[in-house]
Amino acid sequence: MTGARDEVTKMAALKDFLKADDIQKALDAVKAEGSFDHKKFFALVGLKAMTPDNVKKVFQAIDADQSGFIEEEELKFVLKSFAEDGRDLTDAETKAFLNAADKDGDGKIGIDEFEVLVHEV
């Protein structure tokens, strides 16, 4: 039961920074398998317009195991961080997202890598 409560807490934390309408709009835009584009998603959900500090707070809410990194397993479920009905990313979407963000090649996304990815043009 703790896991479910943690998820609700994380979603509430995200809603402190993001508007529910923007979250829904972003999730609707990537509903179809294979349609996830991190740049489009970040813009629609409102992350791109946030300060680096607030983006890092969102990262912490997405980092399911609080390791300081978003690993490939966590990345697959990233849309569920924004809403319970968010779909899982496909393996191809997960790998593309990881490859775009993982600048140091360690196989995971650090907080600074995430912030840079969000604000990339």
Three-class SS state of 89: coil
Q: How far is CA 59 from CA 24, 28, 83, in A?
A: 19, 21, 15
Cα distance between residue 64 and residue 10, in whole Å: 9
Whether residue 102 is annotated as binding a ligand: the answer is yes
User: Residue 22, annotated ligand binder?
Assistant: no
81 is in an annotated binding site: no
104 is in an annotated binding site: yes
Q: Are 75 and 109 in contact (CB under 8 A)?
A: yes
Q: Binding residue per annotation — 21?
A: no
Residue appearing with tokens 């479910």: 4
Binding-site positions for Ca(2+) read 63, 65, 67, 69, 74, 102, 104, 106, 108, 113
Binding-site positions read 63, 65, 67, 69, 74, 102, 104, 106, 108, 113
